[in-house]
Structure 1
Amino acid sequence: MLQANQAQIMLQLQDKMNAKVNPEWLVTRSPFLRAVVIEGAEAIEHHGWKWWKKQDCDLAQLQMELVDIWHFILSELLLQAEGEHQQAQAAIFADIDQQSVQFDGQDYHFSELELLQKLELLIGLAAAKRCSIGLFSALLVDCQMSWVELYQQYVSKNVLNFFRQDNGYKQGTYRKTWDGREDNEHLVELMTQLDASADSFQDDLYQALHQRYAVSK
């Protein structure tokens, strides 16, 4: 289960990341739930949905999409809370154990839905400017992730986001694909080579990304 200190750290990191991209992000009020729609569709692609051909589920990338989605959910919660971390944290824990949601006049019980149906519901809610932490928690279970693993991967992806910004992501000069693979794939590989519980994990991962990016083509 997600711990209060982990939720607090993630909210702090997300606030810091958003402020790095745009110091006035709370005033700008970017459409974070629109991003959830897009990332949800990408998660469906990584899972595979085409019934007319054989497809294999890329679980590692599917998990990474959930981490991306969590970034935008945290941002939306902070936006709704006007930047108040404690209020956003309370919203997480008020909803995290919910087992169903009502949408478009229908009750959806998460235990009755398959993974793709949960992703479709996530997208539908986000398009309607809503999010459900209980639904997200159910998606974690389907994708074989615990909240602890989400926390570790979130911190890793946060490092990647800072790395992107430091290397020209906003200016359009950053190369997202290195040596024929996207940076997300490099991140997954490097994460397995480092100790995620170490105090220096964030710095170690940043330096590993920097070294690989510097010599890449």
Structure 2
Amino acid sequence: MMQAEDSINEMLEMQSVLNEMTNGADWRNGKTALGKVIDWRRCIVMETAELIDSYPWKHWKAVDAQTDIENVRVELVDIWHFLLSLALENFEPENASALLNKALTMSNESQTISSELSAIEQVRIHETMMRTALESVQVSESYLSALTITFFNSCKVAELDFDQLYQIYVAKNVLNKFRQDHGYKEGTYIKEWNGKEDNVVMFEIIAQMPSFSGDDLYISLKEQYIQLGHS
């Protein structure tokens, strides 16, 4: 596995390409090509809310339910997409990389957060990230660092280490690119593949791979999509 700093650089580059593809060349100015306002911090808040719904926090419903920890991890990777985007919107790539890498180091050196916390205690850790994202302050270096540390604290709770974050991020990025290449924005893309969502199929493909490769994943997705009768 490459060094964390190299991985962060690669993910920033991939995120920049994806954002340009989906939002237009000037997405860093805070608007899509269609003039729609982009708010990465609101995206983080809403994804964190979805993450929290993977926990059995409701006292009036499904009281014996278990935490869907796999979905928690997927939601964290979605949040990472938005955090990378926030960093790129406000800082040059080199500075963004340095800030994210420093936050990762600081998180790794801080007191360990136990995954043995109760469901509600884990939810409170995630809510710290949500509260930080909701702060109406300028995205300074210190703010981005603080938000990123709360993110990595949430990863600790979900037992999602950096190598796993990297692999799932790359996989999701490949899937997002595949969707865009096959009509997602136009509404012609088919997300259900023989009764399974495409992201489920993606993880099944990864489980069968002797070693992970983004290029091989894209090829396999295309082969299966064609077998379903789509092009």
| TM category, shorter | 0.7 to 0.9
CA-to-aligned-CA distance 1:158-207 (integer Å, 9 cap, x gap): 1011011111111222222332332222222221111444xxx1111112
Q: Which residue of 1 aligns with 2:8?
A: 7
Alpha-carbon offset, residue 8 of structure 1: 0.6
8 A Cα contact 1:97 1:134, kept in partner: no
Q: Which residue of 2 aligns with 1:215?
A: 227
Indicate yes or no: 2:212 matched with 1:205.
Answer: no
Indicate yes or no: 2:26 matched with 1:24.
Answer: yes
Alpha-carbon offset, residue 35 of structure 1: 1.2
Indicate yes or no: 2:170 matched with 1:155.
Answer: yes
| Distance 1:195-1:73 versus aligned 2 partners, 3 A rule | farther
Q: 2:131 aligns with which of 124, 139, 144?
A: 124
- Cα RMSD over matched residues? 2.4
Alpha-carbon offset, residue 91 of structure 1: 1.5
Residue type of the alignment partner of 1:23: A
* Structure 1 residue ranges, 4+ long, deviating more than 6 angstroms after superposition: none
Q: Comparing 22-31 with 126-135, which one deviates more in the overlay?
A: 126-135
Q: Gaps (5+ residues) in structure 2?
A: 32-37, 137-142
8 A Cα contact 2:113 2:157, kept in partner: no
Q: Which residue of 1 aligns with 2:182?
A: 167
Alpha-carbon offset, residue 213 of structure 1: 2.5
Residue type of the alignment partner of 1:14: Q
8 A Cα contact 1:40 1:65, kept in partner: yes
8 A Cα contact 1:152 1:196, kept in partner: no
8 A Cα contact 2:30 2:39, kept in partner: no
CA-to-aligned-CA distance 1:84-111 (integer Å, 9 cap, x gap): 2111012113333456xxxxxxxxx994
Alpha-carbon offset, residue 46 of structure 1: 2.2
| Distance 1:195-1:35 versus aligned 2 partners, 3 A rule | farther
- Give % identity: 34
Q: Gaps (5+ residues) in structure 1?
A: 100-108
Q: Which residue of 2 aligns with 1:63?
A: 73
Question: In 2, Cα distance between the equivalents of 1:196 and 1:153?
Answer: 13
Question: In 1, Cα distance between the equivalents of 2:18 and 2:156?
Answer: 27
TM-score (norm 2): 0.78
Q: 1:89 aligns with which of 97, 115, 122?
A: 97
Question: In 2, Cα distance between the equivalents of 1:49 and 1:70?
Answer: 23
Q: How many residue pairs end up in the alignment?
A: 203
Alpha-carbon offset, residue 140 of structure 1: 1.3
CA-to-aligned-CA distance 1:103-161 (integer Å, 9 cap, x gap): xxxxxx99498321122222222222565111111111111111011111111111011
Indicate yes or no: 2:201 matched with 1:183.
Answer: no
